[in-house]
Chain A
Amino acid sequence: MAETVIKIENLYKEYRLGVIGHGTLYRDLQSWWALARGKEDPNSLIGHENRIEKNENILALNNINLEIKKGEIWGIIGANGAGKSTLLKILSRVTTPTSGLIKIKGRIASLLEVGTGFHTELTGRENIYLNGAINGMDRNEVTKKLDEIIQFSGIDKFIDTPVKRYSSGMYVRLGFAVAAHLDPDILIVDEVLAVGDIKFQKKAIGKMQEISSTGGRTVLFVSHKMSTIQSLCDRAILIDNGTIKTIGPAKDVVNEYMNLGKIESGERKLDNHSKTNKPKGLIPGKEPIKVYLIRVLNEQEEVCTKFNVRDNIIVEIRYKIPAGNSNPNILFYFNNDRQQLVFVSFNNEMYKNGTAGIYNSRCLVPKDMLNDGQYFVSLIIHENQSVHIRENDLVSFTVMDDMNINGSRGEWVPGKKWPDATVRPKLIWENKKE
């Protein structure tokens, strides 16, 4: 078993909300003088009579416990303000925890920003030395790796030019090049890859993979880019409101994060257009197409959210085409829980002969086609250039595989994970012996 290189025990970080000093000496003295005479603090917030209330505390991290082993790449995900950055800041020793311990084995380097401490007047070469030193390298180490760093950054032509003449891309590349050659045992990276062009991002991710796979080094990576987390990380934690909500394989954690707040429902009644999705581009005065209902049914015509891979799935909508409208484009979009668009279905019949009236349309998704997982159905109705309805993830359902040998998996070893393909159609194989 690999040894533990980071051990976080009962970590808390508390921030005080409200007034933390007034920032000017005068006001502090004024408050102090007023209180000393038993008067009301002239600088207290109006309506806050209770002084304790003024200093409300918030737990940015609430009892975090985590053990990270050597050579693992961990992803840290969570909504904005969940506490990811606070955790990274504590790990990078930029700030201290309120209570709890973190034990670290080996040299740790953090990359909360690319090119920290770069000075615009200095040349690229000078900045490599400075940035390296800020991140804990000594001069000999930098000198030894200088050629490699310059080559990795790809700006060898401009290495003796002041950084102020660099494009922002070059700046980032140089910064990352230094960071990639820090050679720490543990590397902490925060969203820095969001900058730079795609080619460079790929290079940077490749470098991070290389760092962990060849050197047995550990990487902690914060990102909002789920695809990157999924492809780069082995394991991940989902932080929500200062606590660890889930720890596990990166893919599972990402899936959970993506589906947070999405409640499965097989039926949705639409009374009004949602505020964010008003009809667009309609001729003024023209009445838009109105959708009453969208639902997912099983073969027994019951609303259903759980299907076997061997079940037919029916998606139904009820809508009204008002007078003056005809031949609408009605489309269903099927997305899966990995945010991939699985397929789109177009109601061709209504496009050809759609006249005014109330309709009930059904679309049959055949059995033995979808992979297992969760699906979300979105609806778009438009007519020429005008959008009548565009509603995302109106209904959702789950497809499960009961490992029946008549399914598309056949007798594929039960328990062994089927690859995460977008679909899992049952296709016909013809085998002829010659």
Chain B
Amino acid sequence: MKNKYSISDLTKKWDLIIKPNQGWVGFNIKELLKYRDLVFLFVKRDFVIFYKQTILGPLWYIIQPLVNTIIFNIIFGKIAKLSTDGTPPFLFYMSGTVVWAYFASCINGTSNIFVKNAGVFGKVYFPRITVPISIVITSIFQFIIQFTIFLGFYLYFIRNGADITPSYLVLTLPLLVLYMAVLGVGFGALISSLTAKYRDLTFGMTFFVQIWMYLTPIIYPLSQVPEKYRIIYMLNPMVLVIESFRTAFLGIGSVSIQMIMISVSLTIIILIFGLLMFNKTEKSFIDTV
């Protein structure tokens, strides 16, 4: 059939060619940039809605880590008497909670994108990846608020003579957030592609995120993990974030070059794999919904 097209067809400049869904690739950065206003508006929308639909509004962002920290403090610190490597338990738990909360909200937000947006996705085209990106950005606001609370307690503890000193690694915080955002988008894209097909995975998500949290040194320090399991343990890309954060602010934790290499490569692999899955699902999802 190819020879049917005349030469003028081939030389003609088309702005858009709609083709069958061939394979995995086809991620269009240029197009995504064109839609950056949409990302911004999604972020704004989610923020406004959160603000309008709740009585306490952003206060929830403050209450949530505080309550978690207090519960962890009582159960794991006071009752189970888990070590916090000599740091004030309150700060120890809070640092883990605040950092984890950002990652968890990235995953929870992105894991159900296709199912939740089926109505819109079935009616209009825009790069679907704008949705997980906007969720990750929205969550940054939450993180900033919660981090500020943490910082308040942090300074309060230092003033009251707690034996902690921040290191220059504090400056890597934006990198840590970026790392979590990338991991969150990658993982969220992967999960959302799966939940598009298997709806029941949505119910497992809370459970899954919780288990992941316990496999990450949130309520215990990395030093408590037996040496022989360390290598396997480090396959969890979130370990790097928590350890870096605690090293920077609390002066405990261990970060090695080896760990950074493993975690960063893993995160990039997850991101690429997630985007490919997302891309594939995005094109066929609406036919199976």
Q: Mark A22-37, 1 if CB is under 8 A from B, else 0.
A: 0111101000000000
B52 to chain A, nearest CB (A): 5
- A106 interface residue per 8 A CB criterion: yes
Measured in the bound complex, the distance between the Cα atoms of B42 and A135 in whole Å is: 13
Of the candidates B15, B35, B199, B201, which one forms a contact with A107 in the assembled complex, judged by CB atoms under 8 Å apart? B15
- B286 interface residue per 8 A CB criterion: yes
Beta-carbon contact of B122 and A134 below 8 Å: no
Chain B hits for A9, CB < 8 A: 5
Q: Tell me the count of chain A residues lying within 8 A, CB to CB, of chain B.
A: 50
Chain B hits for A100, CB < 8 A: 20
Measured in the bound complex, the distance between the Cα atoms of B18 and A308 in whole Å is: 50
Chain A hits for B157, CB < 8 A: none
Most buried by A among B19, B34, B41, B284: B41
Of the candidates A92, A96, A102, A117, which one forms a contact with B120 in the assembled complex, judged by CB atoms under 8 Å apart? A117
B84 to chain A, nearest CB (A): 39
Q: Mark B40-75, 1 if CB is under 8 A from A, else 0.
A: 111011001100110000000000000000000000
Measured in the bound complex, the distance between the Cα atoms of B15 and A162 in whole Å is: 37
With contacts defined as CB atoms under 8 Å apart, how many contacts are there between chain A and chain B in the complex?
A: 124
Most buried by A among B37, B124, B197: B124
Beta-carbon contact of A116 and B123 below 8 Å: yes
- A221 interface residue per 8 A CB criterion: no
Chain A hits for B198, CB < 8 A: 21, 23-25, 28
Q: For the side of the interface on B, what is the size category?
A: 35 or more
Most buried by B among A93, A100, A119, A133: A133
- B153 interface residue per 8 A CB criterion: no
- A129 interface residue per 8 A CB criterion: yes
- B38 interface residue per 8 A CB criterion: yes
A39 to chain B, nearest CB (A): 23
| Also in contact, A139 and B37, with CB within 8 A (given A94-B122, A96-B20) | yes
A165 to chain B, nearest CB (A): 13
Measured in the bound complex, the distance between the Cα atoms of B126 and A136 in whole Å is: 7
Measured in the bound complex, the distance between the Cα atoms of B46 and A330 in whole Å is: 66
Beta-carbon contact of A93 and B19 below 8 Å: no
Could you tell me which B residues sit within 8 Å of A by CB distance? 1, 5, 9, 12-21, 34-35, 37-38, 40-42, 44-45, 48-49, 52-53, 119-126, 197-201, 283-284, 286-288
List 14 contacting pairs A-B, 8 Å CB cutoff, sorted by A: A7-B14, A21-B198, A21-B288, A23-B200, A24-B199, A25-B198, A91-B18, A93-B18, A96-B283, A103-B16, A103-B18, A121-B52, A126-B45, A126-B48
In the complex, besides A96-B21, A103-B17, 6 extra interface pairs with C-beta distance below 8 angstroms are A26-B200, A94-B123, A96-B18, A103-B16, A104-B17, A121-B48
